[in-house]
């Protein structure tokens, strides 16, 4: 009278392939967005930097990481000699070069 009968419920059908795949869709979309917004542009910048450093030649006018401007006097495998004033040369790593300036930018 006060207690009702309890009946067993039927088992739910297991999740299908499409429903399970829909759970991972937001994760996949986030990775794709991350790739196109962050990873791909960074790889492009690294490639451009590497190409610029490999193309350095004697006489190029460059800016190094500390903001120092100079003309390349000598080139080595990993270093270069930068003439920052008449008769004043400093030796820096090639990787320190940030930008190659157009010819004639530096006035002697």
Quick one: pLDDT at residue 108?
59
Quick one: pLDDT at residue 63?
96
Neighbours of 87 (CB within 10 A): 6
- The two structure tokens encoding residue 49: 């930097």
Q: Are residues 33 and 64 in the same domain?
A: no
Domain that holds residue 25: 17-55
Q: Are residues 34 and 50 in the same domain?
A: yes
Give the DSSP letter string of the chain.
Answer: --SPPP-PPPPPPPP-HHHHHHHHHHHHHHHHHHIIIIIHHHHHHHHHHHHHHHT--TT-EEEETTS-EEEEEEE-SSEEEEEEETTEEEEEEGGGEEEEEPTT-S--
34 within some domain: yes
Q: Are residues 61 and 89 in the same domain?
A: yes
pLDDT digits (tens, 9 = 90+) for 26-85: 999 999 999 999 999 999 999 999 999 999 999 999 999 999 999 999 999 999 999 999
Quick one: pLDDT at residue 85?
93
């Amino acid at each position: 009278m006060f207690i009702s009968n309890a009946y067993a419920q039927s088992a739910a059908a297991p999740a299908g392939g499409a429903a399970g795949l829909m759970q991972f869709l937001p994760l996949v979309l986030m990775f794709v967005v991350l790739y196109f917004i962050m990873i791909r542009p960074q790889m492009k910048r690294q490639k451009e930097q590497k190409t610029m450093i490999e193309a350095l030649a004697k006489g190029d006018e460059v800016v190094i990481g500390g903001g120092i401007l100079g003309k390349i006097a000598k080139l080595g495998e990993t270093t270069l000699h930068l003439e920052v004033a008449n008769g004043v040369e400093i030796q820096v790593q090639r990787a320190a070069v940030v930008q190659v300036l157009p010819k004639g930018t530096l006035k002697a």
